[in-house]
Chains A and B, each alone.
Chain A
Amino acid sequence: MAEFFEQTLQPHFNFWIYVILMMIGLWALIAKNNLIKKLIGMSIFQTAIILFYVSLGVKEDATIPILDPYGQAEHAAADAEGAETEGEKKRDSYIGKKSPDPDTMANPLPHVLMLTAIVVGVATLGVALSITQMIFKEFGSLEEDEILEIVKGGGVDD
C-alpha cells in the first residue's frame, strides 16, 4: 500500500485528481437533471482542464516566476549557507543576478494561457445562466425532463 502510494500516486497526484474532477464534471453534465447543476458540472470540468495545464508548469524546488534582479544578493548569500537541497542552493546562487536560471521558477507560459481560459470560462457561465433564466421564464421549470415533456407536447401555448 505504502509502495503503491509512493511510486504510483504521489508523483502524479495532481493528474489523478485532474482526471477525477473531469469525470465528476462530465457525469454532472450528462446525468444531472437540473440545469443549474449541469452548469456547476461544466465549471468543474473547466477548472479540471486548467488544473492539468497549470500542473505541467510545476517544478521541484521552484519559486514563483517573478524576476527580482536588485537588492537580493545579501539575502542569497545568507540563505546559501542554510540551504539544504541541491535545488535550494542553485536557486539561492541565482538570486541577485540579472538573468536567473529558468529551472528555479515555475513555467509561467501555461499560467498565462490559463488566465485567458478562466476569463472565457466565466463569460460562458454568465451567458449560460442568463439562457437558463430565459428558459425558466418560458417553461416555468429548471428540470430537464419537465422541459422535454413540454417541448414534446407542442410547446407552451401563448
Chain B
Amino acid sequence: MIFAFDIIILVFLVIAAIISLSVKDLLSASMIFGIYGFLICLLWAEMGAVDVAFTEAAVGAGISAVLMVATVFNTKRKSSD
C-alpha cells in the first residue's frame, strides 16, 4: 500500500460520491457513479486486492452503470434533488 496513492484516490472517491448524489440530471449521476466504481477499483488494486479489483471493474464500473443508464432511458432523466 502506497499512502500517497491511497490518500489521493480516497479523496477523489468522496468527491465523486457527493457529486453523483447532488447533480439533478440522472444520466450524469449514473455516469459519475461509473467513475466512482472505477476509482474504487483503482483503490482495490492499490491495496493489494487484485481479485476484488477485477470483479469491481467488471461489475461496478461496467454492469451497474449500464443497468442504471438503461433504467434512466426507460423512465425519465430529471430529478428533483
Which A residues form the contact surface with B (CB < 8 A)?
10, 13-14, 17, 20-21, 24-25, 28, 32-34, 36-37, 39-41, 43-44, 47, 50-51, 54-55, 57-58, 60, 62-66, 105-106, 108, 111-112, 114-115, 118-119, 121-122, 125-126, 129-130, 132-133, 136, 142-143
> Residue A36 contacts which of B7, B29, B48, B59 (CB distance < 8 angstroms)?
B29
Flag if A111 contacts B52 (CB, 8 Å).
yes
Please, which residues of chain A bring their CB within 8 A of the CB of B76? Answer: 136, 142
**By the criterion CB–CB under 8 Å, are A10 and B49 in contact?**
no
Beta-carbon contact of A106 and B21 below 8 Å: no
- CB of A36 within 8 A of CB of B71, answer yes
Beyond the given pairs A25-B17, A142-B75, 14 more chain A to chain B contacts, judged by CB atoms under 8 angstroms and listed by A's residue number, are: A17-B10, A28-B21, A34-B26, A36-B29, A36-B68, A40-B30, A57-B47, A57-B49, A58-B48, A108-B51, A118-B55, A119-B59, A121-B59, A129-B67
Roughly how many angstroms separate A41 CA and B21 CA in the complex, as a whole number?
7
Contact, CB under 8 Å: A114 / B52: yes
**CB neighbours of B59 from chain A (8 A):** 118-119, 121-122
- The number of chain B residues with a CB under 8 A from chain A is 42
On whether the beta carbons of B14 and A37 are closer than 8 Å, the reply is no
Can you give 21 contacting A-B residue pairs, CB < 8 Å?
Answer: A13-B6, A14-B6, A21-B13, A32-B21, A33-B80, A36-B72, A36-B79, A40-B20, A40-B21, A47-B40, A51-B43, A54-B52, A55-B47, A58-B48, A108-B51, A111-B49, A125-B67, A125-B68, A130-B71, A133-B74, A143-B80
